[in-house]
Structure 1
Amino acid sequence: MNTAGLLDGQVALVTGASGGIGRGIALRFAEEGAAVAVHCRTAVAAAGDVADRIRASGGRAVVLRADLTDEDACHRLVHEAADWAGGRLTALVNNAGIQPVADLPGMTAAEWHTVIHTNLSSVFACTQAAAGLMRAQDDGGSITHIASIEAHAPASGHAHYSTAKAAVVMHARAAALEYGPHGIRVNTVSPGLIAREGLEEAWPEGVRRWRQAAPTGRLGRPEDVADACVFLASRLASWVTGHDLVVDGGVSAGAGW
């Protein structure tokens, strides 16, 4: 396994790791030497494929299932990950989430609560459980939430999503303040538009506008987000906490008019 070893000796739990950004994060953490607990809710086969790829490259991985809208399940997940690794957990990446579209005037309370519970309450519960373990460790740990540039600039039809992601950013800042004395760093990564299979066919105009707005001239890749997460979990970021790292190819640097 060819690894720079930035995360050698670490044990990481990545939620929502069966595909897309989560898959990229899990694979990159393993490449850098971490043992990785690959979480999924229902996509067991896809999560198994991620774990198999890690093992095939000489790494350690396990697949764990949990419904993160259930607070107790969040706590069980975190403890299962630590138990698998001999009682240690050094890194948590709160990546699991959903991004439905619903206009605010017609949005139902049920639609609102589903997004808030999935994208925000799960972050609270998993972080609380992980921090409870990390504070007992001599080396503490790191927690990274995957937020979004929509935490700062909402899009139409995403009021619930944008609100949840803005709250995730503030949760990280609050958690950094309260958990910092225990050696636990908490940050967020806010991606822009990340390429996925079928996106250009489903939303050609949006992809065109994004490329036009991005100084780098391209969509993001899961690896771009994963690299940011590796940095924040590594010793290179030992004095970085309460920070929102925007990974959007420079789109947010441009004028909004």
Structure 2
Amino acid sequence: MSIDLTGRRALVTGAGAGIGAAIAIALAKAGADVVVHYAHSEAGANSVKQQIEAGGRRSLAVQADLTDSAQATKLVDAAVEFLGGLDILVNNAGHLVGRATITETTDERWNEVMDVNIASTFFTTRQALPALAESEHGRIITMASLAAENGGGAGSVVYATSKAAVVGFTRALAKEIASKKITVNAVAPGFIGETAFHETFTPGEAQKNIVAGIPLGRAGTAGDVADVALFLASDLSSYVTGQVVDINGGLNFR
């Protein structure tokens, strides 16, 4: 069964590379028009935009620092204006920033990680809710992580905490806005290979050791996450809300 999102309007944050780019392209291939947000990856975002347009869909690339509520507001308003409304919001933007033990973590680093992972999700979602409430297919997808369940690797205390906050936000919001017929779900990737995240923060030998412990015998891909996001954005998930979908090849079970 193919998923048809023809006519749907989507905003994907952090879509200039990696998982966000894969989600934006997957939504467009299913028929959606997509606004591609980026913070720093301008070239990547423009490439994603061009791929979407080459497939016959409309797209716009917009830069914003989503840790700033005013910029998040402007992003959402620009997306709603360009698209003529909003049906799907994918809160993918986030970052580990850097590994550090709790005693090495400064107040500034704590705030930086919490802002980029949970505050950005809050700011963007809050501004998008009125437009989503007018849609007959309102979908919000947040980006959690395996780290929210198992604490992540060394030096990930703040990151794991921020992603656990995303899970709590997702579940609470799902209850709060259920009457508006908007579903809210999270995806929780495990080890997703060939991404800037792990290339930057996970040494090669550690990556090999992680993959060796995955029951399905391989690293995940950005496409694996995009496939689940596509399902959650579609009518096939209309009775699914407040859920966290693990995408980790069997590395961790609830």
TM-score (norm 1): 0.93
User: Does the 8 A contact of 1:92 with 1:143 survive in 2?
Assistant: yes
Q: Hey, what does 2:207 align to over in structure 1? A: 207
Q: Which residue does 2:143 correspond to in 1?
A: 146
Runs (5+) with no aligned partner, structure 1? none
- Contact kept? 1:64, 1:77, Cα under 8 Å: yes
Aligned ranges 1:127-146 → 2 under 5 Å: 127-137=125-135, 139-146=136-143
1:171 paired residue number: 169
Report the equivalent of 2:113: 115
- Displacement after TM superposition at 1:227 (Å): 0.5
Pairs within 5 Å for 1:2-81: 4-81=2-79
Partner of 2:228: 228
Structure 2 letter corresponding to 1:237: S
What is the CA deviation profile of residues 1-33 of structure 1, one whole-angstrom value per residue up to 9, with x for unaligned ones?
A: xx9442221101000000011111111111111
- 1:239 maps to a residue whose letter is Y
User: Are the equivalent residues in 2 in contact too, given 1:91–1:143 (CA < 8 A)?
Assistant: yes
Residues matched between the structures, number: 250
Contact map agreement 1:37 1:64 (CA 8 A) in 2:
yes
What secondary structure does 1:93 align onto? strand
Contact 1:131/1:179 (<8 A) preserved? no
- Give the residue type in structure 1 aligned to 2:252: S
1:148 maps to a residue whose letter is S
Aligned to 1:239: 239
SS at match of 1:133: helix
CA contact (8 A) 1:200 1:207 kept: no
Query: What is the rounded CA distance, in whole Å, between the counterparts of 1:21 and 1:13 in structure 2?
Result: 14
Quote how far apart the aligned CAs of 1:183 are.
1.0
**Structure 2 CA distance, aligned partners of 1:4 and 1:59?**
17
Query: What is the aligned-residue identity percentage?
Result: 38
Alignment match of 1:125 (pick from 119, 123, 140): 123
User: What is the alpha-carbon distance in structure 1 between the residues aligned to residue 107 and residue 43 of structure 2?
Assistant: 33
Cα shift readout 1:93-135 (whole Å, capped 9, x = no counterpart)? 0001111211111110000000001100011111111112212
Distance 1:197-1:243 versus aligned 2 partners, 3 A rule: closer
The answer to whether the Cα contact below 8 Å between 1:54 and 1:60 also exists between their aligned partners in 2 is yes
TM-score by structure 2 length? 0.94
Partner SS state of residue 211, structure 2: helix
How well do the aligned residues superpose, as a CA RMSD in angstroms?
1.8
- Provide the C-alpha distance between the structure 2 equivalents of 1:50 and 1:173, rounded to a whole number of angstroms: 30
One-letter code of the match for 2:249?
A: G
The amino acid across from 2:88 in the alignment is: A
| Partner residue in 2 for 1:93 | 90
Question: What is the identity, as a one-letter code, of the residue corresponding to 2:91?
Answer: N
Provide the C-alpha distance between the structure 2 equivalents of 1:200 and 1:18, rounded to a whole number of angstroms: 16
* CA deviation after TM superposition for structure 1 residue 200, in Å: 6.9
Whether the aligned pair in 2 keeps the contact of 1:146 and 1:190 (CA below 8 Å) is yes
For residues 204 and 45 of structure 1, the distance between their equivalents in structure 2, rounded to whole angstroms, comes to 26
